[in-house]
């Protein structure tokens, strides 16, 4: 009698764990899927309009994924007891719990990162990345090797061997077969993920990536004359930046060279003007050191930028009384953003040309990009080629797709 009650309870316990496990697997799969969409640069280019929707559902499901863990929490000790004699299962449990907790904690920080210190956001983002690149392949391996059909294959293979009456002198044939299949699966998954992880790790390892055409030409071949860096720029007075850019674009990277370069200031100004490369290089520049913050959590510190203060350009052009906003265009033909006139007159808003003493490379938005250090970098239009003074608000590319119109960084 006693025994049966015990058995029943055990079964109920196991049943509950199984349910939690299924919920957890389902939520994690959804999170992995939306998360990979969020980091994919292809998706940034092809479906930017749904990006915010994907981001929000990722965040919501992330919150919900706390529930299975909370329900599981009180059962942990008992669960561990049932695994007393199964070392592999215990290790698996620890790994999974660690990854889940790290993912949820860093995800929470990232969700509220706008009110956090940028250094903490960076830490949260890197943790979230690493745990994803570790957790997703692990999940795949785990769910494949535990699936029914995988076990069926293992069994069939083992039976085949026995039917052939192969005499195995050493070791356990079932075990060998299993290890072989599992190692194979593990290696396969590792092979599939290596390129992605490599792609992610590149900037941290200091490896340059390459794409196509003039964007990869050495800058000295695409642009002549080259701007001569000011003494403060080379060596950079900021001491050289720390942290790494993630290179973003919502289009193909535009091919820019001295031949197709032009820079325009027009709209509600007294003296509209268009420069070609040679004239633009001759404008006098200044140097400043500032930080660069992306709203997704990464930052680059102490960048030495050399360029023209937007304020000076505006003063030269003569802003008319009617003008209230400044609109920025990218040579990619798609990306735009704007500042109010007040914001645009801030001393550290710069039309930048050099970064740490070098002409800004194409993928970094060069040869000319805007930087608005006190705001999130979605304001910092890359491949800037036109500044227009207007008398109404203009909603920028990402703001149209759900980013906040208030881009001030909370420092």
Residue closer to Mo ion by CB (options 329, 378) is 378
Q: Which does 380 bind (CB under 5 to 8 A by kind): Mo ion, ligand MTE, none?
A: ligand MTE
Residue closer to ligand MTE by CB (options 161, 401) is 401
Among 28, 223, 245, 277, binds ligand MTE (CB under 6 A): 245
Residue closer to Mo ion by CB (options 223, 335) is 335
Among 229, 238, 365, 367, binds ligand MTE (CB under 6 A): 365
Report which residue's Cβ sits closest to Mo ion.
294
**Three-class DSSP labels, the chain:** CHHHHHHHHHHHHHHHHHHHHHHHHHHHHHHHHHHHHHHCHHHHHHCHHHHHHHHHHHHHHHHHCHHHHHHHHHHHHHHHHHCCCCHHHHHHHHHHHHHHHHHHHHHHHHHCHHHCCHHHHHHHHHHHHHHHHHHHHHHHHHHHHCCHHHHHHHHHHHHHHHHCCCCCCCCCHHHHHHHHHHHHHHHHHHHHHHHHHHHHHHHHHCCCCCCCHHHHCCHHHHCCCCCCCCCCCCCCCCCCCECCCCCCCCCCCCCCCCCCCCEEEEECECCCEEECHHHHHHCCCEEEEEEEECCCCCEEEEEEEEEEEHHHHHHHHCECCCCCEEEEEECCCCCEEEEEHHHHCCCCCEEEEEECCEECCHHHCCCCEEECCCECHHHCCCCEEEEEEECCCCCCHHHHCCCCCCCECCC
Size of the site for ligand MTE (CB under 6 A): 19
CA distance 61 to 268: 47
Q: Does 248 bind ligand MTE (CB under 6 A)?
A: yes
The piece of 92-100, 154-162, 270-278, 379-387 that touches ligand MTE (CB under 6 A) is 379-387
Q: Does 377 bind ligand MTE (CB under 6 A)?
A: yes
Q: Does 294 bind Mo ion (CB under 5 A)?
A: yes
Q: Does 328 bind ligand MTE (CB under 6 A)?
A: no
**Token duo for residue 63:** 């919150």
Residue closer to ligand MTE by CB (options 30, 200) is 200
User: With the CA atoms of 110, 115, 119 and 123 taken in that order, what torsion angle do they form, in degrees rounded to the nearest 10?
Assistant: -20
Size of the site for Mo ion (CB under 5 A): 3
Q: Does 250 bind ligand MTE (CB under 6 A)?
A: yes
- In the complex, the smallest distance separating the C-beta of residue 214 from ligand MTE, rounded to whole angstroms, is 16
Residue closer to ligand MTE by CB (options 37, 95) is 37
What pairs with residue 287 in β-bridges?
306
Q: Report yes or no: 100 and 27 within 8 Å, Cβ to Cβ.
A: no
Q: Which does 90 bind (CB under 5 to 8 A by kind): Mo ion, ligand MTE, none?
A: none
- In the complex, the smallest distance separating the C-beta of residue 398 from Mo ion, rounded to whole angstroms, is 7
Residue closer to ligand MTE by CB (options 319, 381) is 381
Q: Does 247 bind ligand MTE (CB under 6 A)?
A: yes
- In the complex, the smallest distance separating the C-beta of residue 249 from ligand MTE, rounded to whole angstroms, is 5
Among 31, 355, 381, 389, binds ligand MTE (CB under 6 A): 381
Among 34, 106, 290, 330, binds ligand MTE (CB under 6 A): 330
Q: Does 344 bind ligand MTE (CB under 6 A)?
A: no
Residue ranges in 280-309 that form contacts with ligand MTE under rule CB under 6 A: 294
Residue closer to ligand MTE by CB (options 245, 261) is 245
Chain residues that interact with ligand MTE, rule: CB under 6 A? 245-250, 294, 330, 332, 335, 364-365, 377-378, 380-383, 398
């Amino acid at each position: 009698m006693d025994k049966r009650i015990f058995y029943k309870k055990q079964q109920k316990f196991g049943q509950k764990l199984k349910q939690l496990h299924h919920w957890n697997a389902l939520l994690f799969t959804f999170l992995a899927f939306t998360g990979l969409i969020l980091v994919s640069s292809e998706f940034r280019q092809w479906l930017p309009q749904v990006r915010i929707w994907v981001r929000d559902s990722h965040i919501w499901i992330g919150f919900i994924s706390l529930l299975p863990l909370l329900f599981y929490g009180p059962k942990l000790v008992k669960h561990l007891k049932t695994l007393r004699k199964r070392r592999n299962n215990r290790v698996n449990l620890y790994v999974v719990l660690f990854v889940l907790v790290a993912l949820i904690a860093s995800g929470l920080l990232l969700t509220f990162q706008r009110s956090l210190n940028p250094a903490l956001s960076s830490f949260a983002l890197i943790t979230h990345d690493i745990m994803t690149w570790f957790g997703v392949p692990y999940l795949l391996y785990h769910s494949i090797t535990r699936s029914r059909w995988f076990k069926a294959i293992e069994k069939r293979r083992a039976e085949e061997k026995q039917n052939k009456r192969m005499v195995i002198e050493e070791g356990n044939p079932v075990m060998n077969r299993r290890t072989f299949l599992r190692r194979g699966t593990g290696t396969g998954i590792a092979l599939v993920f290596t390129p992605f992880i490599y792609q992610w790790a590149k900037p941290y390892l200091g490896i340059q990536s390459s794409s196509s055409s003039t964007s990869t030409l050495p800058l000295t071949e695409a642009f002549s004359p080259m701007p001569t860096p000011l003494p403060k720029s080379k060596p950079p007075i900021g001491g050289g930046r720390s942290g790494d850019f993630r290179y973003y674009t919502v289009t193909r990277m535009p091919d820019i060279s001295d031949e197709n370069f032009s820079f325009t200031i027009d709209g509600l100004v007294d003296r509209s003007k268009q420069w070609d490369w040679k004239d633009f290089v001759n404008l006098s520049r200044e140097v400043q050191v500032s930080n660069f913050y992306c709203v997704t959590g990464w930052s680059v510190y102490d960048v030495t930028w050399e360029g023209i203060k937007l304020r000076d350009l505006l003063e030269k052009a003569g802003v008319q009384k009617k003008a209230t906003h400044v609109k920025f265009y990218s040579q990619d033909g798609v990306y735009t953003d704007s500042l109010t006139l007040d914001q645009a007159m801030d001393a550290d808003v710069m039309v930048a040309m050099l970064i740490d003493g070098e002409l800004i490379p194409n993928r970094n938005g060069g040869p000319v990009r805007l930087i608005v250090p006190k705001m999130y970098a979605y304001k910092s239009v890359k491949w800037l080629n036109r500044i227009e003074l207007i008398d109404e608000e203009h909603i920028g590319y990402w703001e149209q797709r759900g980013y906040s119109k208030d881009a001030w960084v909370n420092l």
